[in-house]
Chain A
Amino acid sequence: MPSTPDWINEPLAVVQGLFASSQNGPSSEWEAKAVEFFKDRLKEKDAHTWVPSLNDVPLHYLKPNSLVKFRCLIQDMFDPEFYMGVYETADPATKTKELRCGKYRDVTECGVRQQVDYNSRNTVTAERQTFYCVPIPGENAWVKDSYAGSSQARVVPSTSYAPSRQKRSYEEDDEGDDMDTQPQKQREPHSGQYQHGNGDCKRLETEAPSSQVGSASHLDLNFPLPGEKGPSCLVKVYEDWDSFKLNDTLEVYGILSVSPALSALADEKDASSSFLDPSESMETAEEQRVHSPPASLVPRLHMLYAKMLRHNNPLLPSVPLEDNSACKEELLSSTLRDMPSVRTELLSFFTHVLLGDALAAEYLILHLISTVYSRRDVLPLGKFTLNLSGCPTAASFTERLYRIIQQLVPSSFYLGMSLQNMNRMRLVPKKDYVANRLVSGVLQLASNTSLFLDETQLEPGQLDPTGVSNVTALGNLISWQKVDYDFNYHQMEFSCSINVLIASEGRSLLPSDCQVHLQSQVPPPHMEDYMSSIPLTAQLNKLRLYLSVARLLDYSISDEVTKSVEDDFVDMRKDDPQSVSADDLHRMLVVARLLSLSLGQTSLSRDSWHRAKHMEELRRSRVEQHKSVNGNEP
């Protein structure tokens, strides 16, 4: 393994270097150059795998001010902030001055005995935006493991890890009273490394084991899903922040900043200084806690480069668009060739899982590769919410089914729709004006997350107002693929693309695009044995890859086929106008699209259309049949 290059260890040095050289020369585009520099470096073969990732390396193993990456979802956007883009330090003793660059830093840096000169006319104020980012919610273990496995970053616990170092706690260091008595010399010399190297690391060392458990109690990291773990991060964005949207998934490459000076300060100190500086007292304690949490828990990341993640499947090359298109072509064509065979495999696997029901298995595949590919005014196109009715309650069928889905898709979440859950859970994100942040809810999910709603858990009972609004929110999500975030004085609509799968006994109380009634081929007494004998195939990776690729394919309909589809529709209506409505045509078009894609075909063929029609007929007759059975029962 090659040793870690300098640009990963000391990115700030690179930035400062570029900055300094720009000061001498006439060119002033050093900022673009810096970004370009890191982009180029990352493009090099495998270079991005050398960069340690916040997702799989514990924070206290990472060097402060080194380049790291973070796979995350933008959970909240804070207000833009102004910072000193360029500042000047002066040494009162020698009267020397030095221009420094404040970009990609939280704290100004001064040399020995230097002071920041606020009055310099060379100071440049610049603007940056802060995003609050959390790890991608519902990311499944196999994704995490796979990413971690492919990383070649060399992370060694920093040297300060050794317990022999001088120990003076950071807290002590920060207390203003001490400062006066401390001789200046001792405190200042290594301001930079000193704090990180000693105080901070030592502190992290003691806190790290407990932080995962204990942190939640005093600091809510605001994860959308309950029981999530991992670091959240304040990402500082320097360019183009308008191009990012809430709930985007990104891979951020940036400079890690964990300076303890960033943490919200001790309360007593605040109280005394607030008298002097009225502007500080204006923020509520909650707001301070949220916007400047301890850097040891919520590190800051200064973004150099961010990659939008169109999918979060580590098995698929992450940047199929930009470089080496030849390689991409090859991969694509090879997967396309394999798709029909993989599909057969997946189908038989699902058939087995769904108690021998091949039709339901077909629909499950379609559901898993569906995505909202565009919107026409308010209408989301391509969504395919599946209601799997007739799920046996025995043998924890739904849980097992979810576990299998979990193995196949990059991110998923299981929501048991028990009365208690519906009445208590916060599904819709809500703005907390006291702390000035968006308190996350379960429905704040990344695109293409699988949401598994288990309605078999629902029992008759009373839904309270929260429950009603939660059910309404789920209904909205399914029908319009949007979530109305609660901003107290108004609501704001955020569109999303979440694959909702509803498992229920009868027809679900929620709307759905398509209902399939499960027909078990397995007699109930044997269910337990049968379910436990489901083999987890060794070829999982192939299936995972298949599902992700199918979703990314382009699709079109030729004029010819359009014509025949139209004819078909007219014919169907001729026979019995009641039987086929516009909604049915909508659904059939989606089914045909997904069916073609699942076979690796990028345009609709007449064959697939007929096959889709046939599937729909089968499904409808089954639903009808089930309806009449129900009707005869009482």
Chain B
Amino acid sequence: MVVNSIRERTIAENSMVVLLQGLQGEVTTVDLRNECTARGRVLNVDAFMNVRLEDVLYRDRQGRRTQLQDLFITGRNVRYVHIPDHVDIMETVQNQLAKIHRVRNFASEGGGRKEFSKKTK
């Protein structure tokens, strides 16, 4: 759900990549820098905006369509990401930030699991 590296988590937390991370599982279109488009389900987005898509319809500049099972796009090559209409931008960002916040505090309170069994409210 959230990346394991603290560095990546911090980078993501302070940039709009969290919005894209919130889109994980949705079907979106990614417009690339080279005027190609890729439409598929978002598997994973990392802090550098590298995107992994599955079940992709890749359309190149000339308009030729290609079906791909798995596609990895380097973050720098992204130009646009179309956000599905049913996704609320602010809500998605806030949910993602909450998840990161939770994970961070979970880890920092020393012991993770131990906390839940010992501590009472």
**A and B associate:** no
- Which residues of A come within 8 Å of B, CB atoms? none
- Which residues of B come within 8 Å of A, CB atoms? none
